[in-house]
């Protein structure tokens, strides 16, 4: 299968990009593996005719929004991030009516509709930097309440309006299970994704995006780490650090949507090009502005 995928990729001038949460064998065959920010940025730099985005739907949509003329495929069109739907454009309109001097900040884990109704997009890798430098005082941060609290705690000069979205995978990592793991490995630094609950974030030695977590562990002199994010990151963590050991903070750190992607589905989509990301022209145009604003402000 991997040979057939490589052959089709060359024949069709396609590029395969994968997020750290997809299956190990997909990460191994991808041209690029990264966090959501890296994947969005990389998508703007490729001259391939086809981008196969191995991740959930919003990641494919981000690539398409930034490259409307390219064909963007995802191996499983039903792989969707539930948090991407946990805000509404009506809710945004209400907050806009209520507040002056407001920026609507949209985490990329969101639908194209939500992006289009926002002022700027962010990812976990750049949210702090971008929000800190916005001129507006009032920040309506959608959809993730946990990431919003993590940023808000570091920016007391801003007034945050919170939305109640969350990632069910990260939100289910409990302080109790983290403490139990920590009791077994008291010297291991705790590496936490900011989609985790504030009480879990408060226990962290490092908080960052998937790429940030991998970078931190790779550069650290420590030999053991406790990891509070989806377990797909273990593949890259172990690959880059064969002499180090990584322990999950809790028992259930699996994103069922990321795990819908298989090598078979990747081969199928490359062959038949049948699960393409398509969005209405106007929507793409409206969603592109906040995505490009993110790329500009993250520099």
Chain residues that interact with ligand 13P, rule: CB under 6 A: 35-37, 109, 123-124, 167, 195, 209-210
**Can residue 120 be called a binding residue for ligand SF4 (CB under 6 A)?**
no
Between 21 and 102, CB nearer to ligand SF4: 21
Considering only the stretches 7-15, 77-85, 238-246, 279-287, report the one whose residues sit in contact with ligand SF4 under the rule CB under 6 A.
Answer: 77-85
**Can residue 263 be called a binding residue for ligand SF4 (CB under 6 A)?**
no
CB of 94 to ligand 13P, least distance (A): 27
The three-state secondary structure class of 188 is coil
Residue 209 near which of ligand SF4, ligand 13P, none (CB within 5-8 Å, type-dependent):
ligand 13P
d(CA 267, CA 255): 22
Residue from 140, 257, 266, 291 in contact with ligand SF4 (CB under 6 A): 257
Between 86 and 116, CB nearer to ligand SF4: 86
Closest residue by Cα to residue 28 from 50, 51, 54, 10: 54
Phi, psi dihedrals of residue 103, rounded to the nearest 5°: -115, 130
The three-state secondary structure class of 208 is coil
- CB count, 10 Å around CB of 183? 8
Closest residue by Cα to residue 258 from 216, 297, 223, 210: 210
CB of 117 to ligand 13P, least distance (A): 21
Residue 123 near which of ligand 13P, ligand SF4, none (CB within 5-8 Å, type-dependent):
ligand 13P
Residue 27 near which of ligand SF4, ligand 13P, none (CB within 5-8 Å, type-dependent):
none
End-to-end Cα, the chain, rounded Å: 38
Residue from 258, 270, 277, 294 in contact with ligand SF4 (CB under 6 A): 258
Cα distances from 231 to residues 55, 126, 195, in angstroms, run: 14, 22, 14
- CB count, 10 Å around CB of 186? 7
**Helices 2-11/263-272 angle, 10° precision:** 30
**Can residue 233 be called a binding residue for ligand SF4 (CB under 6 A)?**
no
Residue 67 near which of ligand 13P, ligand SF4, none (CB within 5-8 Å, type-dependent):
none
**Can residue 127 be called a binding residue for ligand SF4 (CB under 6 A)?**
no
Token duo for residue 259: 């795990």
Residue 36 near which of ligand SF4, ligand 13P, none (CB within 5-8 Å, type-dependent):
ligand 13P
Residues 160-179 that bind ligand SF4 (CB under 6 A): 167, 169-170
d(CA 28, CA 31): 8
Token duo for residue 187: 């010297």
Residue 197, phi-psi category: left (phi > 0), alpha (psi -120 to 50), beta (remainder): beta
Binding mask 192-231 for ligand SF4 (x = CB under 6 A): ---x----------------------------------x-
CB of 165 to ligand 13P, least distance (A): 12
Considering only the stretches 75-83, 85-93, 152-160, 199-207, report the one whose residues sit in contact with ligand SF4 under the rule CB under 6 A.
Answer: 75-83
Residue with tokens 């949460």: 21
d(CA 199, CA 17): 33
**Can residue 147 be called a binding residue for ligand SF4 (CB under 6 A)?**
no
Closest residue by Cα to residue 144 from 120, 117, 162, 132: 162
Q: Which residues of the shown chain bind ligand SF4 in the complex (CB under 6 A)? A: 56, 81-83, 109, 167, 169-170, 195, 230, 255, 257-258
């Amino acid at each position: 299968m991997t040979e057939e995928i490589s052959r089709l990729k060359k024949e069709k001038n396609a590029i395969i990009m994968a997020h750290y949460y997809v299956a190990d064998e997909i990460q191994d065959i991808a041209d690029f593996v990264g966090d959501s920010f890296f994947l969005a940025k990389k998508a703007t730099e490729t001259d391939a005719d086809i981008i196969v985005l191995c991740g959930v739907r919003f990641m494919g949509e981000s690539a398409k929004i930034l490259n409307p003329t390219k064909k963007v495929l995802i191996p499983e069109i039903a792989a969707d991030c539930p948090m991407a739907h946990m805000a509404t454009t009506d809710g945004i309109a209400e907050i806009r009516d209520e507040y002056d001097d407001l920026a609507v900040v949209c985490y990329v884990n969101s639908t194209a509709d939500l992006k289009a109704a926002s002022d700027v997009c962010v990812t976990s890798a750049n949210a702090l930097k971008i929000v800190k430098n916005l001129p507006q005082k009032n920040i309506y941060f959608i959809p993730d309440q946990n990431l919003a609290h993590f940023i808000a705690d570091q920016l007391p000069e801003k007034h945050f309006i919170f939305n109640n979205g969350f990632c069910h995978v990260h939100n289910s990592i409990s302080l109790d299970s983290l403490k139990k793991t920590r009791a077994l490995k008291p010297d291991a630094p705790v590496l936490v994704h900011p989609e985790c609950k504030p009480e879990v974030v408060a226990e962290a030695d490092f908080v960052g995006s998937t790429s940030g977590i991998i970078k931190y562990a790779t550069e650290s002199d420590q030999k053991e780490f406790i990891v509070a994010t989806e377990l797909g990151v273990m593949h890259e963590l172990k690959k880059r650090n064969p002499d180090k050991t990584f322990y999950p903070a809790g028992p259930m750190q699996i994103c069922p949507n990321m795990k819908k992607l298989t090598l078979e589905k990747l081969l199928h989509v490359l062959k038949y090009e049948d699960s393409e990301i398509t969005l209405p022209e106007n929507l793409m145009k409206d969603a592109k502005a906040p995505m490009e604003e993110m790329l500009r402000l993250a520099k």
